C-alpha cells in the first residue's frame, strides 16, 4: 500500500514539475522593474523586463511620459531585457505606468511603476496667494512684542549692574 502511495506521489510531482515551465511561458513577460523609482522630468530611467518573449526583435516599452523604446536583451540572462528611456521634460507629476510589448503580441502593464516629481512654485518664495490671515498677524505681533519686552528687560538689567 505504501509503495502505491509513493508511486502516485512521485507521478504527481513529476507532472507538476513538467507543467511548471509551460505555465511560466503562458505568463511571459512576468515582471517590469524600474530604476530609479522616483525621477524628475527630463531624467533617465532603466526599465528591466523579465520574460523570454521580450528578447525577440521588435519588443518595446512605452509610457505616457516617454516614447516607445526598443528593449535590448541583457547579457548573461536568458529571460531579461532592458531599455534606457528619457522621461519627457514636460511630464506631469505623479505615478505613471509602463507597458511592455513583447514578441508574439504579448503585453504586460505595471501600474504606478515610477513617480515623476513635481516642480516648485517659483517666484512666490513659498508664500500663499491669499496673504497673511488675522491669526498669522496676531502670532507674529505677539512674537515681536515678546522679543521687544525681553530685549528691554535685558538692557535695563545690564544698565543697573553697571551703576554698582
Residues 37-95: tens digit of each pLDDT:
999 999 999 999 998 888 888 999 999 999 999 999 988 888 899 999 999 999 999 99
Based on the fold, state whether residues 141 and 109 are members of the same structural domain: no
Model-level pTM? 0.57
Type and span of the H or E element at 50: strand 44-50
Residue 83 lies in a domain: yes
Based on the fold, state whether residues 36 and 76 are members of the same structural domain: yes
> What is the phi/psi pair of residue 98, to 5°?
-130, 140
Give me the domain span that covers residue 161. 136-164
Based on the fold, state whether residues 110 and 147 are members of the same structural domain: no
Entry field: residues in the chain: 164
Res 139: pLDDT:
94
Residue 46 lies in a domain: yes
Say whether pLDDT at 123 is over 50. Answer: yes
Residue 4 lies in a domain: no
Q: What is the mean pLDDT of the chain?
A: 80
Confidence of residue 162 (pLDDT cuts 50, 70, 90): low
Note the pLDDT tens digit of each residue in 79-117.
899 999 999 999 999 999 999 998 888 889 999 999 998
Based on the fold, state whether residues 37 and 105 are members of the same structural domain: yes
Task: Supply 63's cell numbers.
Answer: 509610457
Res 113: pLDDT:
92
Of 32, 24, 31, 99, the residue nearest 65 (C-alpha): 99
Domains in the chain, number: 2
Res 33: pLDDT:
92
CB atoms under 10 Å from CB of 34, counted, come to: 20
Picking from 24-28, 72-76, 116-120, 154-158, which range would have the lowest pLDDT averaged per residue? Answer: 24-28
Res 154: pLDDT:
85
Amino acid at each position: 500500500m505504501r509503495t502505491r502511495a509513493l508511486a502516485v506521489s512521485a507521478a504527481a510531482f513529476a507532472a507538476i514539475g513538467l507543467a511548471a515551465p509551460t505555465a511560466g511561458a503562458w505568463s511571459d513577460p512576468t515582471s517590469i522593474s524600474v530604476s530609479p523609482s522616483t525621477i524628475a522630468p527630463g531624467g533617465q530611467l532603466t526599465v528591466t523586463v523579465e520574460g523570454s518573449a521580450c528578447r525577440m526583435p521588435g519588443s518595446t516599452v512605452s509610457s505616457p511620459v516617454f516614447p516607445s523604446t526598443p528593449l535590448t536583451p541583457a547579457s548573461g540572462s536568458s529571460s531579461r531585457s532592458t531599455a534606457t528611456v528619457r522621461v519627457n521634460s514636460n511630464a506631469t507629476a505623479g505615478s505613471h505606468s509602463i507597458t511592455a510589448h513583447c514578441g508574439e503580441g504579448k503585453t504586460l502593464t505595471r501600474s504606478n511603476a515610477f513617480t515623476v516629481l513635481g516642480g516648485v512654485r517659483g517666484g512666490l518664495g513659498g508664500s500663499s496667494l491669499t496673504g497673511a490671515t488675522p491669526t498669522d498677524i496676531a502670532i507674529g505681533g505677539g512674537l515681536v512684542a515678546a522679543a521687544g519686552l525681553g530685549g528691554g528687560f535685558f538692557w535695563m538689567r545690564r544698565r543697573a549692574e553697571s551703576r554698582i
